[in-house]
Amino acid sequence: MEDAPLASLSLTHVHYNPADRISYLCAWLALVPQGLCVVYATLIWSNREIEIMLMFAGQMACEALNWCLKRWIKEERPREMHGKGYGMPSSHAQFVSFFSITLALFLLFRHVPHPTDTHTPFTFFQRFVLSVLALISAAAVAVSRIYLSYHTPKQVLVGCVAGTVCAVAWFGITTYLRRAGWVEWVLETELARLFRVRDLVVQEDLVDSGWARWVERRKRQRTLQVQAKKDR
């Protein structure tokens, strides 16, 4: 029997010009949404932060909207990529726009970290710089879609606008859920307690999570070791 023809997994199959270094870089930038999904899953599993869960829920809702818009508008991709699904709006541009805008809104308007004995959190200016870097990174991913001829400038622009609108709207919704007490109610449910869901990242940097307790434990261990040597 003849071997069956092989198929390409389109999730990560990116066309680029191997003789063009910028094209090669753009091919890697095309993998940013998949990488961010891995980051989401890792942070949710390791930190159980409800803020990250809410952000991921909004990200998936934004993706669902993109799926609907593409099948409603039904605009083809540029000629070089015809037959690879609809192109309006760009899902990559919409994805990274939602992520970067949501991250910027969180860092600038919701994240109020308090200093501890073991950690000095980022200042507002530093958080502003991080927000700008996130926006620049998102712009790079969006432009790469045009460079690789997967989308027209208009398709990318509409994707950026759609992602931005979704991000602002979702930030408003989650702000209401917090102020109305719905987030606090969820945190008190048995399911949230079972999965150890918490809400610390608003006032505590992720890098400081548990660090103060670890430092205190190490101090106690050293004290006990010194005391044990003295007792000998």
Q: For the beta carbon of residue 61, count every other beta carbon within 10 angstroms.
A: 15
Q: What is the mean pLDDT of residues 191-215?
A: 79
Determine contact, residues 208/215, Cβ cutoff 8 Å: no
Q: What is the mean pLDDT of residues 180-190?
A: 90
Q: What is the mean pLDDT of residues 211-229?
A: 77
Half-sphere exposure of 56 (CA within 13 A, CB side): 17
Residue-range domain boundaries for the chain: 21-207
Task: Tell me, yes or no, if the pTM score tops 0.75.
Answer: yes
pLDDT at 11: 63
Query: Residue 4 — pLDDT band, cuts 50, 70, 90?
Result: low
Query: Residue 46 — pLDDT band, cuts 50, 70, 90?
Result: confident
pLDDT at 210: 66
Q: Is the predicted pLDDT of residue 56 greater than 90, yes or no?
A: yes
pLDDT at 137: 94
Compute the mean pLDDT over every residue in the chain, rounded to the nearest whole number.
86
pLDDT at 78: 84
Determine contact, residues 78/150, Cβ cutoff 8 Å: yes
Structure tokens, 81: 């990529």
